[in-house]
Amino acid sequence: MAISSSSEGEIIEHVVLFNIKDEVDQDPSKVNAMVNALNALNSLDSVVYLTAGPILRTRSLPPSFKFTHMLHARYLTRADLSQYSLCDEHMSVVNSFVRPNCDAILAVDWPVNLVGSTVPRPGSAMRFTFLKVEDENEKEKSLEGMEKIKESLGPFVQISYGENFSDRGKGFSVAALVVFPDIIELDAGEEYEDQMRSLIHKFKLSDDHIIAVDYVVPRLSPAPSLD
């Protein structure tokens, strides 16, 4: 499904972090096969956008966590996400490539009224931040803080944030994603970084309550048939 919209409308963000087993990481052919199989899922009708690839760098991660790769996808509705999750093609990739090769998985999903293209341009640089905020009042305040960050930044970035509804988020309840045109702009985005750091400090979150990773959208070849 190839939809690119520049209007505002609700979509569902879906992010999965994977950790490749150490012994598998020594075999690039197995890693590439898994990544290619995940990227082939972007041809499914329920998917608006999907890419998978290596995490560029980890900026913050609880001591007990380790992740090497990620998948980022977008859907028009929660029903579309559910259809994707349960379909035979997705389950085949999970059973054949993900489970044999990964020893840790974390998934976060959230709805957002997205402004801008639903399909990020290849080469776009993204920073994903997940926070473990347990108190409901604090959770609401953190989302309000992210709205203020969104309002303060220029139109050259796309910001998505919301409350996680996945039961595979390991307690991470608030998600934020910022999309810059490229890695140079991401590295120069000191204003966003300072404001996010200030927000995290405000809620006194410890290191084991924060995940922050950077990712560059890969340029994909036409997806092979999943029939």
Sign of CA dihedral 79, 126, 220, 5: positive
- Taking each helix axis as running N to C, give the angle between helix 190-202 and helix 136-152, from 0 to 180 degrees, rounded to the nearest 10: 160
**Which segments of the chain have a pLDDT < 70?**
1-8, 155-156, 221-227
| Distances 219 to 28, 47, 64, 141, 159 between C-alpha atoms, Å | 19, 17, 32, 37, 21
What is the model's pLDDT at position 156? 67
Instruction: Write down the pLDDT at residue 220.
Output: 77
pLDDT value of residue 221: 65
Per-residue model confidence (pLDDT) at position 223: 47
Q: What angle do CA 95, 99, 104 make, to 5 degrees?
A: 150
pLDDT digits (tens, 9 = 90+) for 150-204: 988 876 689 999 999 999 999 999 999 999 999 999 999 889 999 999 999 998 8
Distance from chain centroid for Cα 189:
19
Domains, the chain, in order of start with CATH, read 9-216 (3.30.70.100)
* pLDDT given at position 46: 96
